[in-house]
Every structure is written in C-alpha cells, then in structure tokens.
Amino acid sequence: MNTAQAGDLAMLVARDHKHFILRLEPGTDLQTHRGVVRHDDMIGGAWGSMIQSHMGNRFFMVQPSLHDILLSIRRSSQIIFPKDLGYILLRLSVGPGKTVIEAGTGSGALTTALAWAVGPSGRVISYDRRADMQELASRNLRRVGLEGRVAFKERDIEQGFDESEVDALFLDLPTPHLYLPQVRAALQGGGAFGAILPTTPQVATLLQAMEEHPFAFVEVCELLLRHYKPIPQRLRPTDRMVAHTGYLIFARPVTTPPEFDLAPDDEGALPTEG
C-alpha cells in the first residue's frame, strides 16, 4: 500500500473542495478554521484515506497534482493559468534534462511548471528586473521542493542572456518584440521560442518583428476551458468558464527568411494523412 511519509507533500480536501497543501513533518499541526489536524495522524496513512480534525471535520488526504500546486501558489501578480501552462510545456518540448530560459518571473507559476518538467537533471534560468518577484517565486519553489532546479537572475534582458544553445525560451513580457536578437543569441539553432500577450496589437507587433529577424513555424492561439457538472443526472456545462487569458505565440529561429508559408496547415488544424 502506498502511504504518506514524513517529507511528502500532501493535500487535504474537504467535501466542498476547500483544500490545504502541506509538507508532512512529525510533531507538527495544521491549524485551520475547521480544526487542528496532526501531521502524525497523516504520516503512515494511505493516500486517499479520510483524516479528521479535532473538531470532527473530515478531509481526504491525497497527493497534490501540479495543477493543484499552481493554483495554490502565493501570488502578487497575475499568473499564467494551468490551461495555458500545459500547452506551453508541450510546444516548447520541455522534458527531463532540458535547459530552459524564462524572462518575466512573476509569481513563479511558469517557473514551477518548468522546474517540475525538466526533472532533477534539467535546468531553468529565470530572468526578472524585480528582486521582490524573484523572492516570491523562490519561496513558492521551496514550498514544493523544486528550488534546486532553478537559477534566478535579476536583470533587464536588454543586456542579453548569459546562456547559449538552450533548448527553449519563453517571454512573459509586454514588449517581447524588442528582445528577439537576445532570444536568437541564447537559443540553439531551431530551438523553441514562446511568448504570451494579452492583446492583439501586441501580438501583431511581435509577428512583424519575427518576420524581420527571422523566425519560422509561427503559431498564434488561445485556449478556452469549459467545465461540466460531474453529475450523471444533470450533466451540463457549468455556469462559468475559463475563457480568454492570453494569446500564445510559438516559433523557431531560422538562419534565412522562409521562402514559403510555414504556418500550420488548415489554419492551425493538425495535418491529416492522404
């Protein structure tokens, strides 16, 4: 049986889905408005089992997913939503052992997702001009034990990046078009570049700049997420949905301007056989 051990990251979930994420430490208590839960009562317990506070309130004890962790991070700025983060990781081909740069640390949601994905053998380098933002992101990483995979650098990327031949690079900045020469110098040939922007004029400016530098295999998209009520007798969409959160732009630097259209087939649809 898979059981919770000291040092594990655990999540307690109440019936109304209110949850608490904590690191299990012997002799420690979790203080909540629903009562006190002793860590010693959780350590050694089976994942998925029920835990009760001293007030009689019940919780399920489970291991938090990356989605749970990202939604619960402390923030002082808007984070990139999990629905976008998953696609960003796929499009940048982020995986174990990869080296990835991000610029615009913010509260560290993308930093955390990148660190999770590159694994112990990978490396994430995060640039930001604000020390307070990087300190917040660092605290969020320490909370989940991923701080050893990330190097923070406090500076304006107008000066360029220290690294070269990295696998992927992502910009979460209002003017990414100003830094494409720096992006090209840091990325390996044909490496994956991505950015997120809130408005179409910003996207258009970036697209024009990518034609000049040049970049190819350009993709622009937005992701919409609609949940359904998980009740068999009343299965229907929920009243609210996570709609527009930002435009995602992806591309690859090339050595010469492309002489043909390298946009995705059929306005973004996946190519089919035949």
- What confidence tens digit (pLDDT) does each residue in 145-180 have? 999 999 999 999 999 999 999 999 999 999 999 999
Structure tokens of 195?
């950015």
The answer to whether the CB of 262 falls within 8 A of the CB of 202 is: no
> How far is Cα 108 from Cα 153, in angstroms, rounded to an integer?
13
Distances in Å between the Cα of 175 and the Cα atoms of 25, 178, 217, 219, 254 are: 44, 6, 21, 18, 21
Structure confidence at residue 258 (pLDDT): 63
Name the one residue in this structure whose structure tokens are 């995705």: 264
Q: What is the pLDDT of residue 229?
A: 92
Asked if residues 5 and 43 have their Cβ atoms less than 8 Å apart, the reply is yes
pLDDT for position 272: 47
Query: Which residues in the chain land under pLDDT 50?
Result: 272-274
Residue type, 217: F
Q: In the chain, which residues fall in CATH 3.10.330.20?
A: 9-64
- Which CATH fold topology does 9-64 show? Vcp-like ATPase; Chain A, domain 2 (3.10.330)
Does the global pTM surpass 0.75? yes
CATH of the structural domain 68-268, one choice from 3.30.70.980, 3.40.50.150, 1.10.10.10, 3.60.10.10? 3.40.50.150
- State the Rg of the chain over Cα: 21
| Residues forming CATH 3.40.50.150 domain(s) in the chain | 68-268
